[in-house]
Amino acid sequence: MDHIDTAEQDLPQRYSGTAKVLHWLMALMILGLFAVGQYMSDLSMSPTKLQLYSWHKWFGVTAFLLVLIRLGWRLTHQPPTLPLHMSTLQQRASHLAHAALYGLMLAIPVSGWLMSSAKGYQTVWFGVLPIPDVLAKDKILGDLLAEVHGTLNGVLMLIVFIHVIAAFKHHFIDRDDILKRMLPSRQQPSPPQ
């Protein structure tokens, strides 16, 4: 499609500054947590591995709190409308992908917390605030929850990959503003008076 209908141009095309900051902060945290999680799981037991596990858990709790803030923001602030040229199937896929992303961003830290509890390792947020264990120590359950945590992370990375590919498709093929509306805005200088 070479042009976008004039009626579409009148629709809000950008997310708020707060939504953008939360989006990109969460994106960085998720990618960082995933990378550290992959790296630390292959290390042999050492003080470095234990420190990485602590950092991973601290930032996992922080990501969980940020996603709660982000959900609150999303529920109280209407996101931009999807372009009218998007098919119903594409719109449904977009809504489903976003719902899956939010669900996974909530489920993954909870599964990590449950896994730590079952393995007998309490999470102490930044070494200051102990987060209560909700499960008794149980090696079999801990191992099962480790599998659940890993699987959920794999699914999240797959959906993030699809999300990024879809954004690039909209930008480079459809040539619409789907990607631009989540990028930082460049304010045009006011004309002199």
Six token digits for residue 104: 């996974």
Q: Is residue 187 part of a domain?
A: no
Please, which pLDDT band fits residue 193 given cuts at 50, 70 and 90?
Answer: low
Give me the percent of the chain exceeding a pLDDT of 90. 83
- What's the average model confidence in pLDDT over 83-106? 95
- What's the average model confidence in pLDDT over 148-177? 96
- What's the average model confidence in pLDDT over 40-57? 95
Give me the percent of the chain exceeding a pLDDT of 70. 89
Flag whether pLDDT at 6 surpasses 60: no
Flag whether pLDDT at 186 surpasses 80: no
pTM of the complete model = 0.87
Flag whether pLDDT at 189 surpasses 70: no
Number of domains the chain is built from: 1
Q: Is residue 191 part of a domain?
A: no
Six token digits for residue 126: 């930044």
Q: Is residue 44 part of a domain?
A: yes
Q: Is residue 94 part of a domain?
A: yes
What pLDDT does residue 109 have? 98
Residue 131, strand partner residues: 123
Determine the Cα–Cα distance for residues 63 and 184; give it in Å rounded to an integer.
Answer: 21
Q: Is residue 193 part of a domain?
A: no
What pLDDT does residue 156 have? 98
Q: Is residue 19 part of a domain?
A: yes
Domain that holds residue 143: 7-182
Instruction: Residue 60: count other Cβ atoms within 10 Å of its Cβ.
Output: 25
Determine the Cα–Cα distance for residues 105 and 140; give it in Å rounded to an integer.
Answer: 25
CATH number at residue 84: 1.20.950
Please, which pLDDT band fits residue 158 given cuts at 50, 70 and 90?
Answer: very high
* Alpha-helical regions (H) of 42-180: 47-76, 88-119, 139-169
Q: Is residue 151 part of a domain?
A: yes
Q: Is residue 192 part of a domain?
A: no
Identify the CA nearest to 132 among candidates 145, 123, 120, 144.
123
